[in-house]
Amino acid sequence: MANDSAIGIHDLSLATTEFVLPHTVLAEYNGTDVGKYHVGIGQRSMSVPAADEDIVTMGAAAAAPIIARHGGDGIRTIIFATESSIDQAKSAGIYVHSLLGLPAATRVVELKQACYAATAALQFAIGLVRRDPAQRVLVIASDVSRYDVDSPGEATQGAAAVAMLVGTDPALVRVEDPSGVFTADVMDFWRPNYRETALVDGQESIGAYLLAVEGSWKDYTEQGGRSLEEFAAFCYHQPFTKMAYKAHRQLLNYCGHDIDEERITRHLGLTTAYNNVIGNSYTASVYLALAALLDQADDLTGRAVGFLSYGSGSVAEFFAGTVAPGYREHLRTAANREAIDRRKEVGHARYRELHGHSFPPDGGDHLVPAETTGPFRLAALRGHKRVYEAR
Ligand code: COA
């Protein structure tokens, strides 16, 4: 099943926010038994952006170490995947391109299909590299997940970015053909242009996700994919980490396998470590699962990992990757842990303030208070333009 010419993920780096809200604080505020959060949905805390952080600052922070390690040469395309876009026309990737000082001879584009778009970006990147193997593509997935306060979705909020360098002879994961794909027109989660927060029918979205697992797996097998037994682990999109378990049980059922909880934990357990303290990072979530797996697992060299990417609305894709020999020397485990551990805890009142923060849509000059200690910040809005700066 391996590709003749291996193309895949050569480097992967993540970034998240300045602040974090523990679910114990949310539970204490709203009177929920914290077991519902810790056990029921599998979440312990959520990343909360400072007022001067957004998808651009997180995306640039995730990508900067990749450029520092490999340089910008050969990167002729940046694909920025997000569903929390900051502009209806201009790609957020252009701000990142500018902040990182990348060459003018680059194409930059933004992709959207809810939480699925980063997987589309990865697959499109592979197509570009197959066409010209000397090229490398920078894929950035960056999102702020925001639901109404006091809604069921509130406990599943989060924010993070993952940057991936895609090229030939990848140091981390060789992405295989084929892919299984699935689309269904459902209204399980959406965000009309006039809203800051998403609308979601939680139970509908769980059902739509589970149907998409079956649909994309069915197509994957029909395209000649691997059998279930061949996989060492599965990285699922994790809107909340318990969802990965629901999805995997669905897949086992669909394939006529027994539900062996110990085996399920072996396949999924390590993939939830970053998502359960960051929260839903939409497009980045499935690749945070990969980072957590690679950072913690015993040697996975040559082993197959299954990826199930789901984006409400809905589109899903199942594909496989093989872990590359020597991958451990290229991991960013310490930096990944530091990005998570450096976050400062906020209380409920401060979280509410940050959640409610928005800029007046008047085109006036608005300075943004300096809060983030990350490498990039949103400094101001000036004449309807967002002004970013390196710190
Ligand atoms: N201890 C342990 N578990 C508990 C509990 C407690 N005290 N109280 C509740 N639970 C469990 C429930 O049994 C349930 O588990 P189950 O799904 O395995 O049955 C789980 O916690 C969630 O409880 P539920 O009552 O369904 O929560 P909710 O109505 O608040 O909604 C979501 C949960 C996920 C639907 C909601 O957070 C949401 O809408 N999220 C955003 C959308 C989303 O993430 N969709 C996923 C697909 S993309």
Q: Which domains are delineated in the chain? A: 7-390 (3.40.47.10)
**CA–CA dist 12, 8 (Å, integer):** 11
Residues forming beta bridges with residue 181, ordered by sequence position? 317
Cα of 99 from ligand 1 centre, angstroms: 39
Our answer to whether residue 237 is catalytic in this structure is yes
Per-residue pLDDT of the chain (391 residues; tens, 9 = 90+): 444 579 999 999 999 999 999 999 999 999 999 999 999 999 999 999 999 999 999 999 999 999 999 999 899 999 999 999 999 999 999 999 999 999 999 999 999 999 999 999 999 999 999 999 999 999 999 999 999 999 999 999 999 999 999 999 999 999 999 999 999 999 999 999 998 888 999 999 999 999 999 999 999 999 999 999 999 999 999 999 999 999 999 999 999 998 899 999 999 999 999 999 999 999 999 999 999 999 999 999 999 999 999 999 999 999 999 999 999 999 999 999 999 999 999 999 999 999 999 888 898 999 999 999 999 999 999 999 999 999 9
Whether 280 has a binding-site annotation, put simply, is yes
The rounded distance, in Å, linking the Cα atoms of 174 and 4 is: 11
260 CB under 6 A from ligand 1? no
Binding site membership of 209 for ligand 1 (Cβ less than 6 Å) = yes
200 lines ligand 1 (CB under 6 A): yes
Q: How many CA atoms lie within 13 A of 313 on its CB side?
A: 16
Residue whose entry in the numeric block shows the structure tokens 């990142």: 96
Catalytic residue selected from 97, 110, 115, 355? 115
State whether the beta carbon of 35 lies less than 6 angstroms from ligand 1: yes
Separation of CA 142 and ligand 1 centre (Å): 25
Confirm whether 83 is a catalytic residue: yes
Q: Is 258 annotated as a binding residue?
A: no
Which residues face 182 on adjacent strands? 316
pTM of the complete model beyond 0.95? yes
**Is residue 357 flagged as an active site residue?**
no
Is residue 199 classed as helix, strand or coil in its secondary structure? strand
Best CA proximity match to 129, nearest among 139, 141, 118: 139
- Collapsing DSSP to helix, strand or coil, 68 comes out as helix
Ligand 1 centroid to residue 347 C-alpha, Å: 23
Q: Out of 83, 110, 176, 317, pick the active-site residue.
A: 83
- With a 6 Å cutoff on the Cβ, whether 347 touches ligand 1 is no
Number of H helices, E strands in the chain: 12, 17
Tokens 């077991």 found at: 35
